[in-house]
Chain A
């Protein structure tokens, strides 16, 4: 046993000495703009509106730091979620997409409206929620997308439904959780940026809660009988209260689509 351990260590040493013989790794570049993340404290109980419901108002950044984390020095913790129960044809369709095709269908790349839940899932920028007891206003910095939902609200009658990028949203409170149920979503929107498309029968149910002053949590359930074998529910995503305002972010000069199309043509030529 001891001989085996020594042998393993000797083998590891050979690999390590070989690695050590290479050029030493360069030190990290210290640059203005890199962010060393500091997690916000809970901040006490959440504020409440005049009607007693939790007030979700605030500028909310993805992650726990209350600020932009695009250039964070610590990778995001991966979300632990169940596999998405795609029907076989849908799984095959997504799998067959090249990386370039996937980018060309992603609303964050093409500057199309992000939809629901794309406003959460395909958007790395902050959100601003403005609430009154009768209104939920959701503004996002990404290409200045927005939606407004009355509280509470029922869906429009079926004969009045039409495809919309932000869909038709019904709203209600379940205790301290705001529930938003959206149907009639335009099929050009995606559920996630990984190619997860949806059908005209999709229903997205978002749940928003504010467990403490500094944190917002968002979960969504997708029901789509034409694409999924059963409903799928996301993990709770964490957002934290920022002290900055949203900034202007209009998409006015998108060169990426042309660049990706050139790449797509090269890929097709190589097939």
Chain B
């Protein structure tokens, strides 16, 4: 039966379409993400994320969350302070984002992936990674978008 179906499929569709069917079924059968157990989903919008570029001005390496402060040019070309909430210092240290590593990019241009705050405050985000001044892409927070192919804490 399986062979017959496969034969009729290959007659009707190209191999590309067959692969699309398999991929489509995989997408349809993929289980929903696990429920949240962290403040992220309450505070930030995982559907409203962007790559944001600016000059890193300060690193606040504290708990329960560290923060990065980045001057981002607004539409008028003026620098506007943008705050990025990171993970805890425990997770950052173990993931290679030590204070010296982050602080080495202060005064330089960085790119940060951030998801916007839900409470209406502009220029406040949670970050998942930073492209440091030396070009290294460094995890600094949760993978709420699934962009690392990792845990999703929606």
Interface residues on chain B, size class: 35 or more
Q: Of residues 10 to 45 in A, which have CB atoms within 8 Å of B's CB atoms?
A: 12-13, 15-17, 19-20, 26, 28-35
> Is B8 at the interface (CB under 8 A from chain A)?
yes
Known contacts A109-B39, A256-B39, A263-B42; A33/B95 CB under 8 A: yes
Q: How many Å from the CB of A267 to the closest CB on chain B? A: 10
Q: Is the CB of A20 within 8 A of B137?
A: no
Provide the bound-state CA to CA distance between A172 and B125, in Å: 48
> Is B80 at the interface (CB under 8 A from chain A)?
no
Q: For the complex, count residues of A whose C-beta is within 8 A of B.
A: 59
Q: Of residues 138 to 154 in B, which have CB atoms within 8 Å of A's CB atoms?
A: 138-140, 142-143, 147-152
Taking CB atoms, residues of chain A closer than 8 Å to B73 are: none
Mark interface residues in B93-129 (1 if CB within 8 Å of A CB, else 0): 1111100000000000000000001111100100001
Provide the bound-state CA to CA distance between A15 and B17, in Å: 11
Known contacts A32-B96, A73-B148; A260/B43 CB under 8 A: yes
Provide the bound-state CA to CA distance between A95 and B87, in Å: 28
Q: Is the CB of B60 within 8 A of A13?
A: no
Q: Of residues 126 to 181 in A, which have CB atoms within 8 Å of B's CB atoms?
A: 141, 143
Provide the bound-state CA to CA distance between A13 and B119, in Å: 42
Q: Which chain B residue has the least Cβ–Cβ distance from A110?
A: B64
Selected from B9, B63, B67, B87, the residue in CB contact (under 8 A) with A70 is: B87
Q: Which chain B residue has the least Cβ–Cβ distance from A111?
A: B64
> Is B76 at the interface (CB under 8 A from chain A)?
no
Selected from A34, A103, A251, the residue in CB contact (under 8 A) with B148 is: A34
Mark interface residues in B58-75 (1 if CB within 8 Å of A CB, else 0): 001011110100000000
Selected from A13, A253, A259, the residue in CB contact (under 8 A) with B62 is: A253
> Is B47 at the interface (CB under 8 A from chain A)?
no
Provide the bound-state CA to CA distance between A33 and B120, in Å: 30
Q: Is the CB of B139 within 8 A of A31?
A: yes
> Is B89 at the interface (CB under 8 A from chain A)?
yes
Selected from B27, B34, B36, B139, the residue in CB contact (under 8 A) with A71 is: B139
Known contacts A249-B88, A253-B63; A262/B119 CB under 8 A: yes
Q: Of residues 1 to 53 in B, which have CB atoms within 8 Å of A's CB atoms?
A: 4-5, 8-9, 13, 16-17, 20-25, 27-28, 33-34, 36-39, 41-43
Selected from B21, B88, B151, the residue in CB contact (under 8 A) with A13 is: B21
Provide the bound-state CA to CA distance between A96 and B20, in Å: 43
> Is B57 at the interface (CB under 8 A from chain A)?
no
Provide the bound-state CA to CA distance between A17 and B25, in Å: 11
Q: Which chain B residue has the least Cβ–Cβ distance from A263?
A: B119
Provide the bound-state CA to CA distance between A265 and B68, in Å: 26
Q: Is the CB of A249 within 8 A of B8?
A: no
Q: Is the CB of B24 within 8 A of A15?
A: yes
Q: Is the CB of A193 within 8 A of B20?
A: no
Provide the bound-state CA to CA distance between A31 and B42, in Å: 25
Q: Is the CB of B20 within 8 A of A17?
A: yes
Provide the bound-state CA to CA distance between A193 and B137, in Å: 32
Taking CB atoms, residues of chain B closer than 8 Å to A35 are: 95
Known contacts A17-B17, A31-B138, A256-B64; A141/B148 CB under 8 A: no
Q: Which chain A residue has the least Cβ–Cβ distance from B93?
A: A247
Known contacts A19-B20, A32-B137, A249-B89; A259/B148 CB under 8 A: no
**Could you name 19 residue pairs across A and B whose Cβ atoms are closer than 8 Å?**
A12-B24, A12-B25, A31-B129, A67-B94, A73-B151, A75-B151, A76-B34, A78-B34, A99-B36, A108-B38, A111-B63, A125-B88, A125-B90, A247-B93, A249-B88, A252-B62, A256-B65, A259-B117, A259-B121
Q: Which are the 7 A-B pairs with shortest beta-carbon distances?
A: A16-B24, A33-B95, A33-B139, A253-B62, A20-B20, A28-B149, A68-B94
